[in-house]
A = this chain, B = another copy of it.
Amino acid sequence: VRALWLEDRRLIFREDAPEPAAGGEAMVRVSCAGICNTDLELLRGYYPFTGVPGHEFVGVVEASPEATWLGRRVVGEINAVCGACAACGAGRRNHCERRSVLGIRARDGAFGERLRLPAANLHLVPDELADEAAIFVEPLAAALEIQEQVAFSPGQRVVVVGDGKLGQLVARTLALTGVDLVAVGRHRAKLERLEAAGIATAPAACVPERRADVVVECTGNSEGLAFALKTVRPAGTVVLKSTYRGEATLNVSALVVDEVRLVGSRCGPFAPALALLAQRRIDVGPLVEARYPLSEGLDAFDHAARSGVLKVLLTP
């Protein structure tokens, strides 16, 4: 079948990629998929994955052990879990010790004609939600994970660092909580899209130091992390939402003296993400930058990797 294929940090388009074997899982024909920064990082060797990348998708179920799913339009949680390890037993399924992760670890992903996932991972997409909105469910769920980890209350000072794909979604979710929100970024066009969504933006130099109750770091670079640590108040919280290449150096004593809390944050809950999109409380339309057919996937990746570019979509 046709798919993008990643091997040894090289991406190619194959007409002869292996057909996914459903086993006891559901088979989904991909309608649309989105390129995420994690996909770009995989290409740079962030994690040694070989196979079909891609984990943001919407599709239609072609086969399933549970017949109710047949023909349904779905999105899917990306962690396929064992259900038996300590993490699964404790209800932390996204941390399953034996998990495979769609398009990231030991499981072919969404940049192909079809993918397979356990039926338990699927979520029905309401009819009123277009494919191009539904592909944002997965990253929007990741943005909502922050609210599962940190309690926000109206009026708290919150700074989102980074105006990219994830920063845009994080700012849009936090704007709904009543916090006193400022987004910081470097790209005029991206900042304008935040402002159009009613979110205040500011140049980094204008954000006061040591004042924010919570800072969410969405840049994935060490300058962003340093800025977040400078901006948070004593006894405040820095949420780390992006993975970083290599190691970062921290002044650990400053964390101790200022009693700062660092919180790593990854995958989140799909149901509220679907609800927010279906209720049109979050408009992801302005985040779509370009659309490519799968056969032009390498061009799509080049486009997505350019500075200032938001979501690039692939259709089979």
Contact = CB atoms under 8 A, between A and B. Distances in A.
Interface string A13-56: 00000000000000000000000000000000010000000000
Nearest to A258: B264
A234 B265 contact: no
A231 to B, nearest CB: 14
A150 to B, nearest CB: 10
Interface in A117-154: 145, 149
Q: What's the number of copies of this chain in the assembled complex?
A: 2
Nearest to A240: B256
Interface stretch (A1-9, A66-74, A197-205, A241-249): A241-249
Contact of A248 (B95, B241, B250, B264): B250
A284 interface: no
B92 A234 contact: yes
Contact of A261 (B86, B234, B241, B263): B263
B264 A149 contact: no
A145 B257 CA distance: 13
A256 B250 CA distance: 15
B242 A247 contact: no
A87 interface: yes
Given A95-B235, A247-B250, A262-B262, 7 more contacts: A87-B233, A243-B253, A243-B256, A255-B262, A255-B264, A261-B263, A261-B264
Interface of A: 46, 86-87, 92, 95, 97, 145, 149, 210-211, 225, 233-235, 240-245, 247-266
